[in-house]
Structure 1
Amino acid sequence: MKTIVAGHLEADSRSAETTPSVRWALASLALSVLLSSLGTSIANVALPSLAEAFKASFQAVQWVVIAYLLAITTLIVSAGRLGDIIGRRRLLLIGISLFTLASLLCGMAPTLWLLIAARALQGLGAAIMMALAMAFVGETVPKEKTGSAIGLLGTMSAIGTALGPSLGGVLIAGPGWPAIFFINLPLGALTLFLAHRYLPVDQRKAKTERAGFDTIGTLLLALTLAAYALAMTTGRGSFGQLNMALLLAAFIGAGLFMFAEARTTSPLIRMAMFRQLELSASLATSALVSTVMMATLVVGPFYLSRSLGLDAAMVGFVLSVGPAVAALTAIPAGRLADWLGTQCVTTVGLIGMATGAITLSILPTMFGVPGYLAPLVVITASYAFFQTANNTAVMTDVSPEQRGAISGMLNLSRNLGLITGASVMGAVFAFGSAASDIATAPPEAIATGMRITFAVAAALVVLALTIATGANRRAFRNRELAA
C-alpha cells in the first residue's frame, strides 16, 4: 500500500483523493464522526426509559447526555495538541478503543451513576475522534473543495444524529436500553480496523517542534464547565442558592482560565483569536444554534411520548426525520457555499431555523405529529445550511499551523451550545411545565413547556442572526476602508 503523508497529500491532493487507500482512510474518519454523533442522539431517545428503569428524575437522567457532552467539550481543544505530541494516528486509535470499551461499560452499568461515569469515559473517546478526524481531513482536501468536504462531515454527523433516535427506539422497544450502547461494539471494531490499516503512520518530530500540553488550562476548563452544567441542572428546575454558587464558581473558573491562557507558552485557547470579529461571531452563532438543536433532542422525546402518546419506536422515528433531512442537505449546502458564498448561505440557514422554531412552538398542539414534523424538518435542514457555511467560512483560509486550534474552537463552541441545550433549555422546559418532575408531569403541562421552550429557542436564533449580520456589515466596511 502506498504510504500517505501530509506533505504529499497537500502537494498532490487531487490525485491522492482518487487512490483506494485515501478513500478507506476517509471512510475511517467518517465512521469516527458518525459514532461520535450517534453517541449523543441515541442516548436522548432513551431518557424516558432510563428515568423509569432507574427510578430517577428528569434532571438526574439528563446527566447521561450532559456527562458525554461535558467530556467532549473539556478535551476537544486539547486533543489536537495532544495528537501533535504523541502522534495523531496513535491517539485516534486510542480514542476509538476508549469509545468502544466505554460503550460496553455503559450497557453493563447496574446503576444510573455508574452509567453516567461510563458515558463520561465514552465522551473522552468521542472528543479524540472528533478533533482528530477534522485534523486529518484538513490535510487531505484541497482549498477549493473545503465547502464540499465540510458538507460531507456534516452529512456523517447528521446521519449519526438521524440514525440515533430511530435505531435507539427500535432497540429500546426490543432488547432494551443496554442495546443502544452495545450496538457501538461492532461499529467501533470496524472503525478501529480501518483506521489502523489505512491512516498514515505518524511522522516523528524533534522535541523543539512539539507543542506543549496545557494541563492547567484543560483542568480549569473542565472544572468551569462542570460547575456551569451543575448550576443548570441541580434543583429539579428551580434556581436556588446552590445554583447561584455553582454559577459564580463557573464565572470565576472562566476568569482563571483566561488568566492562565494569557500567561502560558502553549495555551489551550489563544485569547488573541477572539480579536478577529468574524471568527468571534462565527463561534457565538455556532453555540447559539447548537443550543436550539440540542433542545429538540432533549425536549422532543418527552413531548412526543407523554403529550402525544407515542411509543418508543414511533418517538425514535419522528425524531430521526429532521436529521435525516439534514444529512441529505449538508453536501448540497457545502457546494452552494462554494458557489454563492458563505455569508448568503449562513443567513438563509439562520432565517430558516428561526422560522422553524417559532412554528414548532405553535403547530404541534394544533396538528399533532404532522405539526411537529414539518417545523422540525425546517429547523434541521436550515441548521445543515448554517453549520456547513459557517464552518467553511472559518476554515477556508486557515494556515496549517492554526488548523488544529481553529477546528478545536469550532468544536468547542458547538459543544458548549449542546451542553446549554441539554441543561439550560432543559431547565426552561421544566420551568415552563411548572412541574417538580417532568417524568410524571401531565400531558397539558408538557405541551406548555414545549411552547415556552421553543419560543425561547426562536429568540436565540434571532440573536444569532443579529450577531452574524452585524459582523458581516462591519467586515464589509473594514474591507472598503482598507481598499
Structure 2
Amino acid sequence: MKSISIRGALASLSLSMLLSSLGTSIASVGLPTLAEAFSASFQAVQWVVLAYLLSITALIVSIGRLGDLLGRRRLLLIGIALFTVASLLCALAPNLWLLIAARALQGVGAATMMALTMALVSGAVPKEKMGSAMGVLGTMSAIGTSLGPTLGGFLIANLGWQAIFLVNVPVGVLAMGLALYFLPSDRSEKKADRAGFDVPGTLVLVLMLLAYALAMTLGRGTLGPLNMTLLLVTVFGLGVFVFVEHTAESPLVRLTIFRNSQMSAGLVMSMLVTTVVMATMVVGPFYLTGALALDAASVGLVMSTGPLVAALAGVPAGRWVDRLGTYRASTTGLIAMLTGACILPALPMTFGVPGYIVPLAVITAGYALFQAANNTAVMLEIEARQRGVVSGLLGLSRNLGLITGASVMGAVFAFGTASGDILQAQPEAIAQGMRLTFAVAAGLILVALVLGAISKIVSRRLIAPC
C-alpha cells in the first residue's frame, strides 16, 4: 500500500510539473493566431508569454517560503486550483489585455506548482529513491516543453486558440484529485512555533527579480538605456534585499543556508547549465534555416530532438543518480554536455542535419543527468523546514538561466555573425555565430564543473575529523 501511495503522490507532482512547463510552450505557438484574433501587434501579443514568465520568476521563491509556513500540500492544492481556473479565464478572455491578466494569474499557479513539487517529493519519497523521483519530474517537464508546440498547433487548427488553454482544465482537475488523495497531510504546528512571513523582503525580492527579467527580455538582448537602468535597479535591489534579510526576525531566505557550499554551487551551476540549454533553443532555428536551408516543418522536427531526448533520458538518469551518487552523476552529465558543446561548433556544415542532431542529443542527455543529480543533491542537503524556499530557489535558478540564455546567448550569436540583420546573413556568417555561441557555452559548462569540484572539496574538509 505504501508503494501505491508513493506512486500516486509522484503522479500528482508529475502532472503539476507537466502543467507548468506546458503553460509556456503551448502558448508560444499560438502567438500568430492570437495576434490575428485580437487584431494586435506582435509586440503586444508577446506579453501573453512574458506575463506568465514574469509571474513565475518574481514569485517562485516567496511561494516556496509560504509553503514552508502554511503547509506545502495545502498551498500546492491552491496553486493547482488557481492554474486551472486561470486557464479557463484565458479561454474566456474577450480581449488581449484580459487574456494577459489571466496569463499572469496562471503564472502564479505555475510558480506554486514549480516551487513546491520538489519540496513535496523530498518528503514523499525515500532518500534512496530521490534520484529516480527527480528524473521522473525532469521527464515530465521535458514532455511538457516538447509536447506544447505540437499539441498547440493541432488544437488551434481544429478547435481554435481557446483550446490551448482549455486543455489544462481536465489535467488540472486530475492533478488536484491525485494530490488530495495521495499527498500526505501537512504537519500541524503550534502558532508559537510558526515564524512570520517576511513582507518587506518579499516585496524587495519581487521588484528586484521583475527588474532583472524585464532587463533581459525587453529590447531582444540589446542593452539600451532602459535595460541598463533596470540592471542597476537589480543590483541596488540585491543590496537592499541582503540588508533586509540580515535585519529581519523571520527572513524570507535565511542567508546562512548559502554557507552550505554544495547547495550554493548547485544553484549557480543550475543557472549556468540552463543558460546553455537555452542557447540551443535560441540559436538552433537560425542555424537550421540560415545555414542548413531547412524549411519550417523540418526545423520544428529537428528542434523537437532536444526535448524528446530529455523526456526519454529523464527516468534512466534518475536511476543513475541513485546508483552513482549525486556528485559522480552530476559530473558525468556536465562532461557529456561539454563534449556535445565542443563537437557541435567543430563539425563543418557539410555534416548537415546529423552534425547538429547528434551533439544536441548528447548535450540534452547530459543535461537530464545533471539536472536529476543536482536537484537531488540540493534537496538532500537542507532541513525539512526549509525545503519549500530552497525548492523555489532551484526553480528560480533555472528560470533565470532561461531568461539570461535567451538574451545573452542571443546577443553572442548576433555578435558572432557580424551582421546587422541575422535574417540577411550569409550561411557561413550564421555558422560562425553558432560556433562562437557554443564556445561560450562550453566555457560556462567548464565553470560549472570547476564549481562542482570546489564545492565537493570544501564539503569534504568541513566533515573531515579534526
TM-score of the pair, normalised by structure 2? 0.87
Structure-2 separation of matches of 1:398 and 1:77: 15
User: Which residue pairs with 1:412 in the alignment?
Assistant: 396
Q: Structure 1 residues 400 and 303 mapped into 2: Cα distance closer, same or farther (>3 Å)?
A: same
Pair 1:151 & 2:165 matched:
no
Shift of 1:140: 1.5
**Paired residue secondary structure (2:108):** helix
Aligned residue identity for 2:3: E
Structure-2 separation of matches of 1:72 and 1:451: 32
Query: Which residue of 298, 302, 309 corresponds with 1:325?
Result: 309
User: Which residue pairs with 2:342 in the alignment?
Assistant: 358
Q: Deviations over 1:425-461 (max 9, x none)?
A: 33434444566776x6557466554444333222211
Aligned residue identity for 2:304: S
Shift of 1:400: 1.9
User: Which residue pairs with 1:340 in the alignment?
Assistant: 324
Q: Structure 1 residues 379 and 43 mapped into 2: Cα distance closer, same or farther (>3 Å)?
A: farther
Structure-2 separation of matches of 1:108 and 1:351: 47
Structure-2 separation of matches of 1:147 and 1:359: 29
Shift of 1:244: 1.7
User: Which residue pairs with 2:239 in the alignment?
Assistant: 255
Do the aligned partners of 1:66 and 1:423 also contact (CA within 8 Å) in 2?
no
User: Which residue pairs with 2:54 in the alignment?
Assistant: 70
Do the aligned partners of 2:208 and 2:237 also contact (CA within 8 Å) in 1?
yes
Shift of 1:143: 1.8
**Paired residue secondary structure (2:4):** coil
Shift of 1:61: 6.6
Unaligned runs of 5+ in 1: 1-14
User: Which residue pairs with 2:405 in the alignment?
Assistant: 421
Shift of 1:380: 1.0
Shift of 1:307: 5.7
User: Which residue pairs with 2:279 in the alignment?
Assistant: 295
**Structure-to-structure mapping, 1:112-123, within 5 angstroms:** 115-123=99-107
Aligned residue identity for 1:92: L
Aligned residue identity for 2:55: A
Q: Deviations over 1:24-47 (max 9, x none)?
A: 333221100111122233345556
User: Which residue pairs with 1:390 in the alignment?
Assistant: 374
Q: Structure 1 residues 46 and 369 mapped into 2: Cα distance closer, same or farther (>3 Å)?
A: farther
Pair 1:26 & 2:10 matched:
yes
Shift of 1:288: 0.5
Structure-2 separation of matches of 1:51 and 1:128: 29
Q: Structure 1 residues 131 and 465 mapped into 2: Cα distance closer, same or farther (>3 Å)?
A: same
Structure-2 separation of matches of 1:222 and 1:418: 18
Q: Structure 1 residues 393 and 197 mapped into 2: Cα distance closer, same or farther (>3 Å)?
A: closer
Q: Structure 1 residues 393 and 198 mapped into 2: Cα distance closer, same or farther (>3 Å)?
A: closer
Structure-2 separation of matches of 1:55 and 1:358: 39
Between 139-148 and 111-120, the greater mean CA deviation after superposition: 111-120
Aligned residue identity for 1:81: R
Identity %: 63
Q: Deviations over 1:172-215 (max 9, x none)?
A: 66656654433323322322333344444555433223332222
Structure-2 separation of matches of 1:296 and 1:180: 25
Between 172-181 and 96-105, the greater mean CA deviation after superposition: 172-181
Do the aligned partners of 2:115 and 2:389 also contact (CA within 8 Å) in 1?
no
Between 129-138 and 81-90, the greater mean CA deviation after superposition: 81-90
Structure-1 separation of matches of 2:53 and 2:395: 11
**Paired residue secondary structure (2:222):** coil
Do the aligned partners of 1:45 and 1:316 also contact (CA within 8 Å) in 2?
no
Aligned residue identity for 1:281: A
Query: Which residue of 229, 232, 250 corresponds with 2:216?
Result: 232
Aligned residue identity for 1:56: F
User: Which residue pairs with 1:56 in the alignment?
Assistant: 42
**Paired residue secondary structure (2:252):** coil
Between 48-57 and 22-31, the greater mean CA deviation after superposition: 48-57
Aligned residue identity for 2:137: L
Unaligned runs of 5+ in 2: none
Do the aligned partners of 1:47 and 1:62 also contact (CA within 8 Å) in 2?
yes
| Number of residue pairs aligned between Structure 1 and Structure 2 | 463
User: Which residue pairs with 2:268 in the alignment?
Assistant: 284
**Paired residue secondary structure (1:268):** coil
**Structure-to-structure mapping, 1:67-466, within 5 angstroms:** 67-107=51-91, 115-171=99-155, 179-202=163-186, 204-304=188-288, 308=292, 314-361=298-345, 363=347, 365-432=349-416, 444=427, 449-466=433-450
Do the aligned partners of 1:172 and 1:312 also contact (CA within 8 Å) in 2?
no
Do the aligned partners of 1:173 and 1:313 also contact (CA within 8 Å) in 2?
no
